[in-house]
Structures are given as C-alpha cells and as structure tokens.
Chain A
Amino acid sequence: MASEQTPKSASPLQVAKAVLGSFLGIRGRAAHESDVTQLKPAQVIIAGLIGAAIFVLSLVLLVRFIVGSAA
C-alpha cells in the first residue's frame, strides 16, 4: 500500500523488540513505522505467542521460587 515498497524483511531481533514493546505498551514512532512495513503478520503472531509463553513461564518460575523459599 505504501508508495515506496520496502520488501526488506525484519530480523528476529526486531520482531522480539516489537513484541516486548507491545507488552510494555511503549514503542517509538519510527520503530513502529518500520515494524508495520517490515513485519509479517505470521511473524508477529508467532513471536507474540512465544512472548506470552515466556511471560507466563517466568511468572511461574518466580512464583515457584517464592513459594519454595517460604516453605
């Protein structure tokens, strides 16, 4: 849709950053712009699921650690 096509695809790092930015709710305009032009929906969805899984797992680990040390 954009007039100058930018078919450059995104690096895994950029995908990860986008998802992290999404979880925090903070992302700069320029980064967002390149996200929107370079990320493919499938990439974002997969990275989002991985991100959610990591988030859940780290919470579970944290909770386990706390419960374990209390007992």
Chain B
Amino acid sequence: MSAVIDSGHAHDEHAHGPYGGVMRWVTTTNHKDIGTLYLWFSFTMFLVGGMLALAIRAELFQPGLQFWHPEFFNQLTTMHGLIMVFGAIMPAFVGFANWQVPMMIGAPDMAFARLNNWSFWMLPVAATLLVGSFFVPGGASAAGWTIYAPLSTQMGPGMDLAIFALHIMGASSIMGSINIITTILNMRAPGMTLIRMPLFVWTWLITAYLLIAVMPVLAGAITMLLTDRHFGTSFFNAAGGGDPVMFQHIFWFFGHPEVYIMILPGFGIISQVIPAFSRKPLFGYSSMVYATASIAVLSFIVWAHHMFTVGMPTAGILFFMYATVLIAVPTGVKVFNWLTTMWRGSMSFETPMLFAVGFIFVFTMGGFTGLILAIMPIDIQLQDTYYVVAHFHYVLVAGSLFSLFAGFYFWVPKWTGRMYDEKLGKWHFWLSIIFFNVTFFPMHFLGLAGMPRRIPDYALQFAGFNEIASIGAFAFGLSQILFLWIALKVTVLGRGEEAGQRPWDGADTLEWTHLPSPAPYHSFHEQPVLG
C-alpha cells in the first residue's frame, strides 16, 4: 500500500484519495468509483447491443435478404438479447446501487469493498467472451437469448463461450447481491430503520434476494447444457432418456424472476423521482414495499406462461394463467400509487420527471400486453410473434431503460456537482419516447397479423410496418448518441452550472440533505445523525 498518494482534492483531511491514472480504476474499492465503472461498462454494452439491433433492423427494412446470411441474422438476435439483458440493463442497476445505496442509508461504503471490485472486473471478461464469440468458427451462439435445447446442444464453440460468459456474469451478480444485502442490513446509520429506508434501497434489497435465488438456477441449466454438449450426458436429449422441454422449465424458472430483477430497481428509481418532482411524499410507501415483496414471491410461480404452446395439461395451463393475471395486481398497486403521488402535487417537469412520467405511460402499456399474452387462448396465436417482441420492449426499454435515464438525470448533479444540459436532456426524452413508439408500436400489428419473431425475411404484407419500425429504430439509436454527449459533457468534461447541495427541492433522502455536491470521495465516514 506504499503507493497510496494524497491526491490533494480529497475533502476530508483523514481520507486518502484514489491512485492516479488507470490503476485507480483497476484497484479501486470505492463504491462511487465502482458505480462509475459499472455505469460506463453498461453504457458501452448498450451501444454494442444497440448496434446489433440496428443490424437486425437494417435487414428487416425490406423483405428479402439484403445484408446478412440467415445464420448470422440469428447470431445477431441472440447476442443482442444476451448483451442487453446481462451486459447493459443488469449492470446498470448495479451501478446505481453502488453509487446510491451507501449514500441513501448513511453508510461509508459497501460492506465488502474488495469483493465489490472483483464483481465488477469479472464483467469485462464475460463481455469479451460474448463479443469475441462472433469470431470463432461457426460464429456466435444463434439459439436465441433463451438458448433452448436442442438448438443449444448443437452449436459450435460460440455457444460454449456464451455459456462461460453467463456463468461469469451470474457469479458477478451473486457476489454483488451478497454485498448489497449485507450493506443494507448491517450498515444503515442509526435511526435509518427499515421503515424509513428509501424505496430505491428497498427494491434493491428485494431484487438482490431474487438474484441469489435464481442465478444458480440459470447456472445449473447452462452447466447441464455444457455437459450434454461435451461430456456425454443427456439431460435434454430425448434419445438418451432426457427431455428438451425440461430445459424450458428450468430456464423460465430463472427467466421470469429475471424479468422482475430487471424492473424492480427501476420501480425504485421511479419511486424516488416522482415524489421529488411532485413535492409530495410518496403515496402508499408501505404498500409499495409490500407490493415489491409480493411481486418477487409470485414471480416464482408463473414461469410456464412462456410455454403455453409447448403442450401442458389443461389444469397446468389454467394454473399458470390465473397466477400470471394475479401478479398484475401488485404491479397495478404501484402504478396507482405513483399516479396518486402526482395528484395535486406541485409538479415540475425537468428531464428526470419527464422520463418518470414517460415510464409510467409506456410501462403500463407493456403491462397490459403482458396480461393479454397471459390469456392462453390468445397466446396460442401470438406466441413467438412480433407481439411478444413488442410486449417485452415496452417493459424493458420504456420500463427499465427509461427508469435508468430518469435515475441518471436525477442523481448526476450529486455525482458530479454539475447540472446536465437541461435543454438537451429534454430533447433526449422527447426523441426517445417518440422514436421508441415509432419503432415498437407497429410491432403489435405485425404480431397480430402473424409475423414470427427471429426471422431474417418475411412475407410481403408485413413490409409497411417493418419499414416504419426500422426507421424508428435508427432514429432511436441516434437519439442515444445525444445522450452519450450529454453524459460526457457533465461527467468527463465537467461542464454545466454548479448544482449546489440540493438542486431538486423536493428530494429529501440523505444524499441530498446531508452531503454536498459533488458527493465527496469518502462520504459518511462519520455516521450521520437522523432525527
């Protein structure tokens, strides 16, 4: 540790600053540094995944094959899904947890600082495996992000690389979750009782338990795939006494909780932003906590709504149908509470609030299409069509991604001490929400008309809506370059008005009330005193 140098600008006298240069980032155990690493990593993966998406939309702009071989097209859809889910959305939420959880509960750092460093640095390795798999013989995995057997037991080494990457990212998530749970349960400042905990912290606590529960299930499924592929087992091979449908059961037992893992922390962010810009406390705080917990529990008993077309006894179909529809109740409670929080509030619509209100609007549409898909007689028609693609992009892009944007604009003044460019931020919102809908709304019609997903070519009658969707997708992609500029400007270039300690007068959690902006490298080394 002899290389530790005082970097001069450290705020507290007793604190030592970071290493200089690259080593700062390689060796850091600081929750803010690690949060920053997570956020830049996930944004990079977002751009990579976005490029794959544009390659898909370019091919689908017109019927016929223009750019890619069908095999390569399947690699594009697969890697787009894997990279967005595991490389962009999940790590971005962990980045927010790193930055915000310690500051919001009055803790000096995460509980296991070195584990935290390790959780992050596994991710670039996994990302390299994923992206690198395009260049091995046979190319990347082309079995879809759901890697169903027996497709996934047949492919080349690209599939093995994807399996290893998933293992590594799963381990990273589990370690991150252990860290988050321990931090929240053990390191809250005196007076920060569970009942006073901000909702973002609550949602992450519950999400972390979900992650610990289901990431090992995914690990088990892909390990079985690996041994089926290389060590002569036949878990998923009917010829050897196994069952390919079992893969789907195991995958979705992970997969459905996984989709909630990607939305619950987003609910948490929205639950911070809406009250702050409505200048009212969150309506139904307790219901929100309970609704989150029940969504988490119920998410374990609905998985087979992804498998209605596989074939199931009627009793099984009805069970999963009813359970799925019931899970919409706590979700509805949340939407109701956000709306009630806004009711008669003195609202203002800066960029974080725009994204939050946009979130409620579009996420709710995604929830409704989910309900429609949960009705088995309808799903029989719509399964594996573009209707499903529309559903999950409404909940994941307009849900998870928009909540991440809301959180970024909300907290970046605290992180950097400067305000982002409000005018450009508003542009970013309007461009995003308009082109999001231009891209994905027509997909409902495509799905209803019967266009299957994951195909490089389609029948002529689908041409019109596909053209619109592709134009929307390119415009949406370009709008995110605007976001890159906004983010660079306020973080790296340090341009923008000084934010002051509490730029949002309605925001009342500890990071706003107790810490200056930018938050010092080491915050809450002395426990804050709460009333």
Contact = CB atoms under 8 A, between A and B. Distances in A.
B290 interface: yes
Contact of B286 (A32, A62, A67): A32
B191 A1 contact: yes
Nearest to B298: A23
A54 interface: no
Contact of B294 (A3, A25, A62): A25
A64 B315 contact: yes
A18 B24 CA distance: 46
A24 B315 contact: no
Interface in B277-304: 284-287, 289-291, 293-295, 297-298, 300-301
A42 interface: no
Interface in B309-363: 314-315, 318-319, 322-323, 329-330, 333-334
Interface in B174-233: 188, 190-195
A1 B193 contact: yes
Interface string A38-69: 00000000001000100110011011101100
B461 to A, nearest CB: 38
A24 B333 contact: yes
B191 to A, nearest CB: 7
Contact of B329 (A1, A24, A64): A24
A1 to B, nearest CB: 5
Main SS of the interface on chain B? helix
Residue among B188, B190, B195, B298 with max Cβ neighbours from chain A (10 Å): B195
Contacts of A31: 286
Contacts of A28: 286
A8 interface: no
A22 B206 CA distance: 13
Nearest to B330: A25
Nearest to B287: A26
A19 B301 CA distance: 17
A11 B192 CA distance: 25
* Chain B: number of interface residues, binned into ranges: 20 to 34
A13 interface: no
A12 interface: no
Which secondary structure characterizes the binding site on chain A? helix
Contact of B195 (A18, A24, A26, A32): A32
Which among A1, A33, A48, A60 has the greatest number of chain B C-beta atoms within 10 A?
A: A1
Contacts of A26: 284, 287, 290-291, 333
Contacts of A52: 297, 300-301
Nearest to A58: B322
Interface string A1-27: 111000000000000001001111111
B322 A23 contact: no
Contact of A63 (B188, B190, B294, B315): B315
Given A21-B290, A32-B289, A66 B318 contact: yes
Contacts of A23: 294, 297-298, 330
Nearest to A71: B314
B294 A24 contact: yes
A33 B294 contact: no
Contacts of A32: 195, 285-286, 289-290
Contacts of A56: 301
A36 B194 contact: yes
Given A25-B291, A33-B195, A1 B286 contact: no
Contacts of B286: 27-29, 31-33
Given A36-B193, A52-B301, A67-B315, A25 B323 contact: no
A66 B318 CA distance: 9
Contacts of B191: 1, 3
Contact of B285 (A21, A29, A63): A29
A21 B301 CA distance: 18
Contacts of A24: 290, 294, 329-330, 333
6 contacts: A1-B188, A1-B193, A18-B290, A29-B286, A52-B301, A55-B301
Interface of B: 188, 190-195, 284-287, 289-291, 293-295, 297-298, 300-301, 314-315, 318-319, 322-323, 329-330, 333-334
Given A3-B191, A56-B301, A62-B322, 9 more contacts: A22-B293, A23-B294, A23-B297, A24-B330, A25-B291, A27-B286, A27-B287, A60-B319, A63-B322
Interface of A: 1-3, 18, 21-29, 31-33, 36-37, 48, 52, 55-56, 59-60, 62-64, 66-67
